[in-house]
Structure 1
C-alpha cells in the first residue's frame, strides 16, 4: 500500500519548544496521578467551547444563552443561531464515539453539526469554493472532485504519522481548512477534529477552552491560516494553535489544576466527588449531584456522599443538624492541604 501524502510543513524550533512546554505540563499531571480539569470545569469549558467556536462563525448567542439551550430553556435568538447551538451540543455529546482518523466519522459529525443548516450536511461539497475576507479572495480550495480523496489521504497520514499528537493534530486542523471539504461548517469541523485528535493523546485536552482563545485572537487565527497558505507550509498555523493550547492550559484556575490524589482505600466514586469541589467552597448535595451528572439521590448518598463523609474527605457545614435543608458540604482542611 503506498504511503499517504505528507502534508507540507516544517518542524520549526518554535514548534518543538511549544510541544516541550505542553508535554511538560501534561506529564506533570500524569506523574502526580492527577487530572487537569475537574468535572465541573469540564462542563463549563464545553459550554465556552461551543459558544466560542460558533461566535467565530458569527453566531451572536452568549454563554448564558448557550447554557440555557443546553438546559432545555427557551432563549431569544434567530432560529439559525439556536439550531447551530443545538447541533454543536449534540456533536460534542457524541465526541467519544468518533475516531479522529475516520473519514466516515468525520462525515457523520458534519451531518450532525450542520443539520437543517445546509443542504449537503454530512456530505462532501459538490462544487468549487473560495474563501473571502470582505471582497478579497484569500483562498481557493481544491476542486470538488478531489475532496474525498484528499480527506481520506489526510486521515491515513494522521493514522500513520510518527509526529507528536500535538503537531499532528494542528496539521490535521490546517489541512481540513485548506481542503475545505464542505459547503459550510469547515471552521467548526476543523476545530472539533483537532480537539478529537488531542483527546486521543490525553483526554483532558478535549475540555480545554482553546476555542475561546481563538475567538479572542480571531484576526491572528486567520492570519496564521493565510501565512501557511502563502508559504505552502503549515508551520505558521501549527505555531499559532500550539501557542493557543499552551495558553489555554495556563488559563486553568490553580484550584482546578490540583485534583484528588487518592489511596487505594478511597473508591472511584469518592474520588469523583472530591474532584467536584474547588478549594474551600461550600456546596449543597443537589449541586454535587448536578456536577456529577446524577439524578438518583439514594445512590448518590450511598455510593458518594456517605463514604466521603466517613473517610473524612469532606465535612458538613452544619454537623449538628445533618438533615438541615440548608446543609452544605466542603472539603476538610486535611483534604485541601494534602489530598492524600
Structure 2
C-alpha cells in the first residue's frame, strides 16, 4: 500500500491560504540591476538561519564575504560548512522539484569532503529521546527508499494547494528523516522550490532566517504534529509565519527596501548622512574626518567603534583603498547594499 502524507485541512489553514494568496496577488517583482545582489543577500540569510538552527553562528557580513571567496575569521570547519550550504543555495534554480535523484545529489553536495556518506539514505535507526524516554522513533531504515519514492509520487499527483504541499513536504522530510544529517536543510530547500512555483517573490524571502528566531515554536509544531500523526499543526505554524512575513511587505512598493540587511540606528544614521551629502555635494567618497563631521561627532574612537567599523562589517560602506586600510588617502563610500537602505 502506497504511503500518503496525513494532514487535516483545518479552518485556520484555509484562512491562511486565502490570506497569503491575496497578498501575493498584490505583490510583483520588477527585474532590476540589484537582482543578483538581492539573491546573494537572501542566500546568506538563509544559510545564517540554518546555522543558527544548528546552534552555530556566522554574521551575514561574514557569509557574504565567504560567498565572494574571501577569508573570514572563523573556525575552518564552520567556514567549510557555510561554503557547502552557500554553493547549494546558489544552485537553487537548477534543482528539480519532483526529482528524487536531484534530492539525493543535493545531499551529496552538502556532504562533500565529510566522512559521512552523502547522497545515501541512513542505514540505522533514529529516535528522539527526552528524559530517558523515546518521544519519536523515525521509520526504520529499510522503509526509507519506498517512503521517499511514495512521497515524491504524492508531490506530483496531489491536487493540494502548493502552499500546503510545501509545508507537508517539509514536515515529511523531517518525519521520515531519510539521511543521517542535513534533513532540515533539504526540507527548507524543497519547500522553497514549491513556493517559488507559486510566486517568484519567495526567491527573495529567507524563511530560514525567520525560523531561526522562532526555533522553539518550529520544533514544537513538528513535535505536536508527530504526536497526533497529523501535520496540520506544522502547516498552520508555517503558513502563519509566511502570512506575517508577507504582511510586513505590503506597505512597501519596492522589494529592495524590505530585504536589505538589518542594521543598527547608528549605521542608518551614517548611511543617511552620506546619502544627503552625496545629493547636495555631488560626491560619493568621503574621508573619515568628513564622515565624522557630517554626524557632528567629536570623539574619533567612539565614531570608529559605533559607526564606521560596524558599517564596514555589514558591508554597507567600503574603503576606496581596501588593501591599505590606514592610508592617509583612504576614503569611504556606500556599497550597493548600502544604497538599498
CA contact 1:35–1:257 (8 Å) conserved in 2:
no
CA contact 1:209–1:248 (8 Å) conserved in 2:
no
- 1:188-211 deviation line (CA, Å, top 9, x unaligned): 111111111211222221321211
- 1:69-126 deviation line (CA, Å, top 9, x unaligned): 0111111222221121111111012111112221100001111122223421111111
Which residue in the other structure is 2:177 paired with?
A: 180
Structure 2 CA distance for aligned equivalents of residues 36 and 240 of structure 1: 33
* Equivalent residue runs for 1:35-184 within 5 Å: 39=35, 40-132=37-129, 137-184=134-181
- 1:231-280 deviation line (CA, Å, top 9, x unaligned): 10000001111112122223447253389xxxxxxxxxxxxxxxxxxxx9
- 1:148-171 deviation line (CA, Å, top 9, x unaligned): 110111011011110110000100
Gap change, CA 1:207 and 1:135, over 3 Å in 2: farther
- 1:49-80 deviation line (CA, Å, top 9, x unaligned): 11111210122212121111011111122222
- Of 7, 10, 32, the match for 2:8: 10
Structure 2 CA distance for aligned equivalents of residues 242 and 128 of structure 1: 31
In the TM superposition, residue 10 of structure 1 has moved relative to its aligned partner by 0.2
TM-score by length of 2: 0.70
- 1:11-52 deviation line (CA, Å, top 9, x unaligned): 11111111111111111225xx85899624333222111111
Which residue in the other structure is 1:221 paired with?
A: 218
Structure 2 CA distance for aligned equivalents of residues 118 and 327 of structure 1: 44
Structure 1 CA distance for aligned equivalents of residues 192 and 129 of structure 2: 26
Structure 2 CA distance for aligned equivalents of residues 82 and 22 of structure 1: 36
Gap change, CA 1:222 and 1:156, over 3 Å in 2: same
Structure 2 CA distance for aligned equivalents of residues 158 and 179 of structure 1: 15
User: Does 1:24 find its partner at 2:6?
Assistant: no
CA contact 1:36–1:258 (8 Å) conserved in 2:
no
Aligned with 1:200: secondary structure?
helix
Name which of structure 1's ranges 218-227 and 131-140 shifts more when overlaid on structure 2. 131-140
User: Does 1:205 find its partner at 2:202?
Assistant: yes
CA contact 1:41–1:256 (8 Å) conserved in 2:
no
Structure 2 CA distance for aligned equivalents of residues 258 and 90 of structure 1: 23
CA contact 1:36–1:204 (8 Å) conserved in 2:
no
Which residue in the other structure is 1:192 paired with?
A: 189
Structure 1 CA distance for aligned equivalents of residues 34 and 146 of structure 2: 40
Structure 2 CA distance for aligned equivalents of residues 240 and 185 of structure 1: 21
Identify unmatched segments of 5+ residues in structure 2.
258-274, 285-331, 335-341
Structure 1 CA distance for aligned equivalents of residues 164 and 132 of structure 2: 33
Which residue in the other structure is 1:297 paired with?
A: none
In the TM superposition, residue 134 of structure 1 has moved relative to its aligned partner by 7.9
Gap change, CA 1:258 and 1:208, over 3 Å in 2: closer
Gap change, CA 1:236 and 1:327, over 3 Å in 2: closer
Structure 2 CA distance for aligned equivalents of residues 37 and 202 of structure 1: 20
Structure 2 CA distance for aligned equivalents of residues 155 and 228 of structure 1: 20
CA contact 2:43–2:90 (8 Å) conserved in 1:
no
Gap change, CA 1:174 and 1:36, over 3 Å in 2: farther
* Cα RMSD after superposing both structures: 3.1
Give every structure 1 segment of 4 or more consecutive aligned residues whose post-TM-superposition deviation is greater than 6 Å: 35-38, 280-284
Structure 1 CA distance for aligned equivalents of residues 63 and 255 of structure 2: 25
Aligned residues: 266
